[in-house]
Amino acid sequence: MTAEPRAFWVIEPGHGEVRAVDLPPRRADEVLVRTLWSGVSRGTETLIFSGRVPESQYDLMRAPFQEGDLPGPVKYGYLAVGVVEEGPADLLGRAVFALHPHQTAFVVPASAVVPLPDDVPPRRAVLAGTVETAVNALWDAAPLVGDRLAVVGAGMVGCCVARLAAGIPGTQVTLVDVDASRAATAAALGVDFARPEDAPGGRDLVVHASATSAGLQRSLDLLGTEGVVVELSWYGDREVTVRLGEGFHSGRLSLRASQVGAVAPARRARRTTRDRLVLALDLLRDPAFEALLTGTSSFEELPEVLAELTDGRRSALCHTISYPGADASSPGPADERSRRCSP
């Protein structure tokens, strides 16, 4: 390691900077990782960047290797892929995933990194944390063979849930979003697509991931009798309202929360968080997940990228961040630098 390590910090709401950092001396049970790629978890990280996390949730929202405190200055993020430069012999030179903030190099316990399967490209592997969330959601939701499912909200998490659910025999999966351009993403994931007003009703199960009151209401409306909505959205400090005076009680509908901070109760006695993450990386052997990687910027551009993702000037599912030495043979879509301005 010759270059001075640097990290991205949210200095205060709406303002980020890349700053030099000092790495601690590596101990025998630790690894030094040189970062190749990281991913922006758009929903959570834009809430962090804009200062929209309620004070009551500051401690619960801590990332595994976060430095500083909300609302800032804080070093945040949790989708990092790199190569082990120093460490135990069985990890040396291996590409690994870690729940680490955006940083050019870092030192963590060897137990905190998970080697990538040989056939999972490093750039795709940044989705591991999001696929892990989808795995946990489906453990919570427990869909059955032949179920009719809707996933409302075609962001990173919703798309991952839809792809995994589509692998259950006989399921009918519809991805629902207000953005009609997500139809192409749904097709790449092998599921149906509908705008909210056109989505089919009578669903056995709906997973909600749009982080809007309208999306949650539509999720309830799409259920059949005694159906279940599994709520994956994180709203920050936004107020959420739904109409429970219509068919909620007569239809005996259910609304359940799912959150990745703990393994779902259905598997908690038999799976660890590491087991769940290993499974997520194994599932990323599926090349269909490439459809979620919708842009790339260099690490030095990250302050501008977060600002543009937050205010809507840049559109993305998973926006990836490249670091020196990243595999230039898989830079992403040809229009990876393109931006779409909100009206």
Instruction: For residue 247, count other CB atoms closer than 10 A to its CB.
Output: 14
Q: Give the pLDDT score at 235.
A: 85
Q: What is the pLDDT of residues 180-223, one digit of tens each?
A: 999 999 999 999 999 999 999 999 999 999 999 999 999 999 99
Higher-scoring residue by pLDDT: 255, 341: 255
- Ordered domains of the chain (ranges, CATH): 6-129+289-322 (3.90.180.10), 143-257 (3.40.50.720)
Q: What is the pLDDT of residues 141-173, one digit of tens each?
A: 999 999 999 999 999 999 999 999 999 999 999
- The DSSP line for 173-217 is EEEE-S-TTHHHHHHHHT-EEE-GGG----EEEEEE-S-SHHHHH
- Burial label, 124 (beta-carbon count in 10 A; 0-12, 13-18, 19+): buried
pTM: 0.90
* pLDDT band, residue 114 (cuts 50/70/90): very high
Q: Give the pLDDT score at 330.
A: 42
Q: Give the pLDDT score at 103.
A: 98
pLDDT at 340 over 80: no
Q: Give the pLDDT score at 247.
A: 87
Q: Give the pLDDT score at 2.
A: 61
The answer to whether 332 and 123 are in contact (CB under 8 A) is yes
Span 87-113, mean pLDDT? 97
Q: Give the pLDDT score at 245.
A: 86
Span 63-92, mean pLDDT? 96
Place of tokens 């997500």: 182
| Token pair in block for residue 124 | 């795709």
Span 212-237, mean pLDDT? 95
Span 22-37, mean pLDDT? 96
Helix axes 182-189, 156-166, angle to 10 degrees: 30
Q: 3-class SS at 108?
A: strand
Helix (H), strand (E) at residue 122:
none
User: Lowest mean pLDDT: which of 57-61, 157-161, 277-281, 320-324?
Assistant: 57-61
Q: Give the pLDDT score at 16.
A: 96
Higher-scoring residue by pLDDT: 235, 96: 96
Q: Give the pLDDT score at 1.
A: 58
pLDDT at 338 over 80: no
Q: Give the pLDDT score at 238.
A: 85
Q: CA separation (Å) from 56 to 59, 151, 315?
A: 8, 29, 30
Q: What is the pLDDT of residues 40-69, one digit of tens each?
A: 988 889 999 999 999 999 998 899 999 999
Span 10-14, mean pLDDT? 95
The mean pLDDT of the chain is: 92
Q: Give the pLDDT score at 120.
A: 97
- The DSSP line for 291-335 is GGEEEEEEGGGHHHHHHHHHHTSS--SEEEEE-TT--TT----TT
